[in-house]
Amino acid sequence: MTSLFGRHLITFDQWSRTEIDTVLDMADELKRRRAAGEVLDWLKNRTLFMIFFEQSTRTRNSMEAAMTQLGGHAHDLTAEKMQISHGETPRDTAKVLSRMGEAIAIRNCFYGIGNRYLNDIAAHADIPLISMQDDVYHPLQAIADLMTIREHCGPDLRGRKVAISWAYAASHAKPLSVPQSQILLFPRYGMDVVVAHPPEFPLQPDLVARAQQHAAQNGCRLTFTETMEDALRDADIVIPKNWGGFAHIPDFTDDEPHRYLMRNNLERHRDWICDERRFALARPDARVMHALPADRGREVTDAVLDSPNSIIYDEAENRLHTAKSLLTLLLGRR
């Protein structure tokens, strides 16, 4: 197997297809072993420092459960619990934690800050840095999504159509990182990806250009549309997901004029909901996915999300198995 010991993970776009396949193969193995009731201690006495700048359910619990099930321990930290809140530099944080444990995992989704902070930590860390999501990428969600699609559609995904559609949400401003990680990863496995969004809510142009290159290199297509219906038509996988319009405002700041503009753009598109009528445009055996938490009744209806076509809980469970795979490979299997 490809050795991944000591690698950083900020985006799978920095990893080869062989390296990603290694993660998927290990995740499949670990899922089978858990189903068989095996107890593994491959990371016995090893420590993962998890630093969260935002809330988390699936990421926090999948990573901590993964360390526990592999015999290690995860420290659940927030910036307020650390000297980060008093201005400690990324260099000092990285150097100190590198002396005390085997890996650092961070979630920092603040726009224009998160990815830069993770890269600063990685530059000074002597142990693996794992992104638990930033303002640009969410590799842990993307790899679990890929594992789930393979389970339901088979290992050969060439020609499968994935519809990623923006959807209205009122719960909170959701980052761009999930759809951006999906468009970067899925075409590398031959999937045709169609992204639908209103013009006010584009993805980052540089990432779109990179994803287009992946599609061209792998004989598939990445296309965009401004209607949900066009994206969902004949799709094998449907992913309705809200994301913010931060990329539309390059100098975005959190002041009142910008907040007003964002709210105004959002409320203009309340009709962007994946309901039964729209989902019926997809293939009869299409699967609906969502990274969760879903803004039910706004992004997607309960009738769609709780239908037999929904695989959202398989998707959530696979966050555990892919986390165990990555931790095993990056921290060292014993």
Q: Could you read off the pLDDT of 89-107 as tens digits, one per residue?
A: 999 999 999 999 999 999 9
Cβ atoms of 101 and 47 closer than 8 Å: yes
- Above 50 in pLDDT, residue 130? yes
- Above 90 in pLDDT, residue 276? yes
pLDDT digits (tens, 9 = 90+) for 182-237: 999 999 999 999 999 999 899 999 999 999 999 999 999 999 999 999 999 999 99
Specify the pLDDT at position 171.
77
pLDDT digits (tens, 9 = 90+) for 138-186: 999 999 999 999 999 999 999 999 999 999 998 767 899 999 999 999 9
CATH 3.90.550.10 for the 141-315 domain, yes or no = no
pLDDT bracket for residue 334 (50, 70, 90): very low
- Above 90 in pLDDT, residue 278? yes
What's the CATH class of domain 12-138+318-331? alpha beta
Cβ atoms of 229 and 200 closer than 8 Å: no
Q: Which two tokens stand for residue 228?
A: 């949900």
Q: Which two tokens stand for residue 332?
A: 């060292």
Give the separation between CA 145 and CA 214, rounded to whole angstroms: 18
| DSSP secondary structure letters along 75-107 | EEEEGGGSGGGGT--HHHHHHHHHTT-SEEEEE
Work out the number of other CB atoms within 10 angstroms of the CB of residue 70: 24
Mean of pLDDT values over 4-23: 97
Identify which of 64, 27, 177, 192 has the alpha carbon closest to the alpha carbon of residue 114: 177
pLDDT digits (tens, 9 = 90+) for 23-32: 999 999 999 9
Mean of pLDDT values over 289-300: 97
CA distances from 321 to 93, 247, 250, 324 (A): 28, 32, 36, 5
| Whole-structure pTM value | 0.95
Select the more confidently predicted residue: 124 or 334: 124
- Above 60 in pLDDT, residue 132? yes
Tokens 């038509």 belong to 233
Mean of pLDDT values over 47-75: 97
Helices 205-217/177-185 angle, 10° precision = 20
Sign of CA dihedral 64, 70, 73, 75: negative
Angle at 8 between CA 144 and CA 111, to 5 degrees: 75
Specify the pLDDT at position 246.
60
Give the separation between CA 317 and CA 315, rounded to whole angstroms: 6
47-52, strands of its sheet edge to edge:
73-78, 47-52, 103-108, 129-134
Mean of pLDDT values over 290-312: 97
Identify which of 152, 101, 88, 154 has the alpha carbon closest to the alpha carbon of residue 128: 101
Specify the pLDDT at position 12.
98
Amino acid at 83: Q
- Above 60 in pLDDT, residue 265? yes
- What phi-psi label fits residue 154: left (phi over 0), alpha (psi between -120 and 50 degrees) or beta? left
Q: 12-138+318-331 and 141-315: same fold?
A: yes
Specify the pLDDT at position 195.
98
| % of the chain residues with pLDDT over 90 | 86
pLDDT digits (tens, 9 = 90+) for 35-51: 999 999 999 999 999 99
pLDDT bracket for residue 254 (50, 70, 90): low
**For the chain, which residues make up each domain, given as ranges?**
12-138+318-331, 141-315
Mean of pLDDT values over 237-266: 68
Which stretch of 127-131, 200-204, 213-217, 298-302 has the lowest confidence by average pLDDT?
200-204
- Above 70 in pLDDT, residue 133? yes
Sign of CA dihedral 162, 163, 165, 169: negative
Averaged confidence pLDDT in the chain: 93
Query: Strands (DSSP E) along the chain, which ranges?
Result: 47-52, 73-78, 103-108, 129-134, 161-165, 192-196, 222-225, 237-240, 287-288
Specify the pLDDT at position 328.
97
